[in-house]
Chains A and B, each alone.
Chain A
Amino acid sequence: MKAALLIATLALTLVACSEQPQTANSQKRHDAPPYAGASQVFNDAGWKAGDKASWEQHLKVRAQRGQNDYYGRKN
């Protein structure tokens, strides 16, 4: 019983010593373009994944609406 308890305690303690595996590649990979979409539920509505023009237009409108205080204001 004592031995089992000791083993369990040691196992629990040593878990903290484990390290995340790190893979090393010599060749860098090609990234998919961002307009391909993330296929997630977090995608912003109003654009079509895979359509570059739609994605660009969506980001332009989002930048103007969110960051331009004078958006839509007539000078």
Chain B
Amino acid sequence: MARMKFICDAERCIECNGCVTACKNEHEIPWGVNRRRVVTLNDGVPGEKSISVACMHCSDAPCMAVCPVDCFYHTDEGLVLHDKDVCIGCGYCSYACPFGAPQFPSQGTFGVRGKMDKCTFCAGGPEEHGSEAEFEKYGRNRLAEGKLPACAEMCSTKALIAGDGDVVADILRNRVVMRGKGAEVWGWGTAYGSKQGGQPTPGTK
């Protein structure tokens, strides 16, 4: 198996925030914490593009490099996970991460900054798989249940793809080749029918 990866197809993302909702629901994420969010580039301008962003589970993760208590670890599947019992909530990882993935919930009566929380690729943490302790700290462990991350599986336009890097690359490559380019991708003809009717332009594969 290669490494587990996410990819978001900007041609398909419609900024519905279904992935964000699926994540919050699946893991019962507290108010104010967003493990995943949708970012729109050139918002309001014709041709705007949206992508869904969370922890990218970097191969050479800057959060791991700067953590003063070394609470992060890489799994064999290439996921960057962390041990909340070791985390001291200092926030260094938040400054180091280029994607803004680390989140810090307000905890306790006085709303002090809690331990870091981030996307786990639905793979939980170092607690026993499927245990109550794991769910409370890290959320559901869907990977150990033989499932893929909820955000990607819930994506209505299949813009967000998750899984083994080779499979993800294969799906996206095949999609790009099949959909062609230009007006036939999402144009009038595709929606309402025309001579071209959503078929690839002659000459494209």
Contact = CB atoms under 8 A, between A and B. Distances in A.
Nearest to A33: B76
Nearest to A38: B130
Contact of A62 (B109, B146, B161): B146
B126 A69 contact: no
A37 B144 contact: yes
Interface stretch (B41-49, B55-63, B78-86): B78-86
A63 B146 contact: no
Contacts of A46: 146
B10 interface: no
Interface SS of B by simple majority? loop
A27 B86 contact: yes
A38 B178 contact: no
B163 A67 contact: yes
Contacts of A62: 146-148, 163
Nearest to A29: B126
Given A31-B73, A70-B174, A63 B130 contact: no
Given A25-B85, A44-B145, A70 B178 contact: yes
Interface in B118-153: 123-126, 128-130, 141, 143-148, 152-153
A58 to B, nearest CB: 5
- Centre residue among A16, A18, A24, A66 by max chain B CB count within 10 A: A66
A56 B164 contact: yes
Nearest to B86: A28
Given A34-B123, A63-B163, 14 more contacts: A26-B86, A28-B71, A29-B83, A34-B77, A34-B143, A39-B130, A42-B145, A44-B147, A60-B163, A66-B153, A67-B158, A68-B158, A68-B171, A68-B175
